[in-house]
């Protein structure tokens, strides 16, 4: 049988030890983020000259930003980019774990102000936690979520298979659901 105790213990153990580093990263950054501990970032401002033909299309913003970052010897952000309008100003934002960029254009002067935020090592981890990393890390995080669910279910099944632990398993499961619902309602 696939769900025998020996197989469950091996799956449980291998998943736990393989994913422990990223799980600890998520636990620590999440717990500290609740208390507003987010890490540090270094902000710098730069001026970009733009051509009269600049239309404000997102692909143009990306190209202009990449060129300026290359001139500054900086890597491109790994996350998503978007354009938004705030108080009549067009703002291009490109998020990432190690670096974030914000570009605000002044078409009358044919310039753009670019703010670059470089994360310290801890802020980088927080940004990864907030899904501002690249595609590969997002896939890795999704695998972590599935693995954590597998760990919880395999632990439940192993406990259920031991007759002496069944009552405790049922009590702990219902207590967990009750406390969770109570906390959701009271928050």
β-strand pairing of 81-86 with 99-106: unpaired
Q: What is the pLDDT of residue 1?
A: 47
Instruction: Indicate yes or no: pTM above 0.85.
Output: no
β-strand pairing of 99-106 with 41-49: unpaired
Name residues whose C-beta falls within 8 Å of residue 39's C-beta, 6 or more positions apart in sequence.
119, 120, 121, 122, 123, 124, 125, 126
Q: What is the pLDDT of residue 106?
A: 79
- Domain 41-119 -> CATH class: alpha beta
Q: What is the pLDDT of residue 86?
A: 81
Residue-wise pLDDT tens digits, 33-90: 999 999 999 999 999 988 888 888 899 999 999 999 999 999 999 989 999 988 777 8
Q: What is the DSSP letter of 103?
A: E
Answer for the pair 111, 38: CB distance below 8 angstroms, yes or no: no
Q: Could you state, in order of their start, the residue ranges of all structural domains in the chain?
A: 5-36+133-186, 41-119
Lookup result for tokens 């717990």? 31
Q: Where are the alpha helices (DSSP H) in the chain?
A: 5-34, 58-71, 121-129, 135-161, 163-186
β-strand pairing of 41-49 with 81-86: unpaired
Nearest residue to 100 (alpha-carbon basis) of 81, 122, 125: 81
Stretch 158-183: mean pLDDT: 93
Task: Tell me the C-alpha distance between 85 and 176, whole Å.
Answer: 44
More confident residue, 179 or 11: 179
Q: What is the pLDDT of residue 126?
A: 95
pLDDT band at 3 (very low <50, low <70, confident <90, very high): low
């Amino acid at each position: 049988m696939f769900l025998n105790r020996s197989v469950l213990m091996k799956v449980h153990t291998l998943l736990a030890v393989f994913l422990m580093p990223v799980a600890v990263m998520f636990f620590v950054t999440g717990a500290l983020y609740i208390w507003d501990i987010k890490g540090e970032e270094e902000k710098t401002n730069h001026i970009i000259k733009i051509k009269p033909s600049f239309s404000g299309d997102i692909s143009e913003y990306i190209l202009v930003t990449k060129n300026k970052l290359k001139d500054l010897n900086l890597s491109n952000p790994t996350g998503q980019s978007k354009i938004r309008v705030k108080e009549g100003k067009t703002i291009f934002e490109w998020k990432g774990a190690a670096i974030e960029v914000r570009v605000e254009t002044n078409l009358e002067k044919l310039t753009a102000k670019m703010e670059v935020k470089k994360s310290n090592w801890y802020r980088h981890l927080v940004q990864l936690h907030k899904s501002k990393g690249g595609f590969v890390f997002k896939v890795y995080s999704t695998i972590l979520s599935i693995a954590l669910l597998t760990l919880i279910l395999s632990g439940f099944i192993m406990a259920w298979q031991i007759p002496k632990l069944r009552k405790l398993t049922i009590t702990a499961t219902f207590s967990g659901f009750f406390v969770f619902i109570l906390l959701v309602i009271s928050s």
